[in-house]
């Protein structure tokens, strides 16, 4: 499609048994306003749903949210499933990732060791995450400008 920018597709959802919806609603709105095509899987999303959605929508990123503090257990094996499906996507995780989390750097290191490209705490501004997503997707200046115009 000459002259028309195709929006980048991201998958968004709350993993496992977590039913917190406010964070992903805010993220969905911010990502959409920034020009991304957002597939919001909602809450209590299983790993295979993230994988299936990423594959069927040819997504470039999977954004996992968790606020109830059990993200490590819920995310164990996610990257294996993505690899098994032949998917090479960016993966972000954010929220209140560990019960009693007192050292975010330690939590961040744990999730990076699990394979996540970016790890965010619950206080991260959506615009900060969007800028990192643009950077990680290596959006050209033209694409980033088009996202701002079309978004």
Environment class of 135 (CB within 10 Å of its CB; exposed 0-12, middle 13-18, buried 19+) = exposed
Beta strands in the chain (DSSP E): 9-14, 37-40, 61-66, 90-95, 118-121
Of 20, 79, 117, 136, the catalytic one is 20
Axis crossing angle, helix 22-33 with helix 126-136, rounded to the nearest 10 = 50
Cα three-residue angle 76-78-82, rounded to 5 degrees: 155
66 is in an annotated binding site: yes
65 is in an annotated binding site: yes
Q: List pLDDT tens digits, range 49-102.
A: 999 999 999 999 999 999 999 999 999 999 999 999 999 999 999 999 998 877
CATH number for the segment(s) 9-122: 3.40.50.280
* Six-digit token string for 24: 């992903």
Domain boundaries, the chain: 9-122
**Three-state DSSP class for 31?**
helix
100 is in an annotated binding site: yes
Model-wide pTM > 0.95: no
- Distance CA(145)–CA(94), nearest Å, equals 26
8-state DSSP, 147: H
Tell me whether residue 18 is one of the annotated catalytic residues. yes
Say if residue 136's pLDDT is above 90. Answer: yes
Say if residue 123's pLDDT is above 60. Answer: yes
């Amino acid at each position: 499609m000459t002259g028309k920018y195709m929006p980048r597709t991201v998958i968004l959802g709350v993993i496992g048994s977590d039913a917190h919806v406010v964070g992903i609603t805010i993220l969905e709105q911010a990502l959409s306003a920034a020009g991304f095509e957002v597939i919001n899987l909602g809450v209590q999303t299983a790993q295979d749903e993230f994988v299936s959605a990423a594959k069927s929508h040819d997504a470039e990123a999977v954004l996992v949210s968790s606020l109830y503090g059990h993200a490590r257990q819920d995310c164990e094996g996610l990257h294996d499933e993505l690899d098994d499906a032949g998917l090479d996507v960016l993966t972000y995780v954010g929220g209140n990732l560990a019960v009693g989390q007192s050292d975010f750097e330690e939590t961040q290191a744990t999730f990076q060791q699990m394979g996540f490209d970016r790890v965010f705490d619950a206080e991260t501004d959506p615009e900060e995450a969007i800028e990192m997503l643009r950077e990680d997707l290596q959006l050209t200046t033209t694409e980033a400008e088009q996202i701002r115009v079309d978004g």
